[in-house]
Amino acid sequence: MTPTSAGSVRLPATWLTSVPVGGAICLLIFAAVLFAAAWIWQVKVVNTGWTPGAKHAEYIEQVKAEEKAAKAAARAAKKAAAEA
């Protein structure tokens, strides 16, 4: 530490005392910790077997099955009409 002309002591510059760089590094570390905590919370608490699109997927499969049956019936009717 070197004394200045006013008699105060000047601290050596480190990454923690240089506010822009130290603040940015601390902010990145905080963001990473927050992201990891949110990720763990999502996996452990929120994702407990709940699928938000399950009912919709069942509905879509039902509609597709109905469309497939309607197409098969139309083909059979067309084939019967062509044979008659």
Structure tokens at 83: 């044979």
Contact 2, 10 (CB under 8 A): yes
- Please give the span between the terminal C-alpha atoms of the chain, in angstroms, as a whole number: 107
E strand or H helix at 10: strand 9-10
pTM over 0.85: no
Contact 47, 41 (CB under 8 A): no
For residue 5, pLDDT beyond 60: no
Residue range 10-64, pLDDT digits in tens:
656 665 556 677 788 889 999 999 999 999 988 888 777 667 788 888 999 999 9
Residue entry with tokens 């008659």: 84
pLDDT reported for residue 20: 73
3-state SS assignment for residue 16 = coil
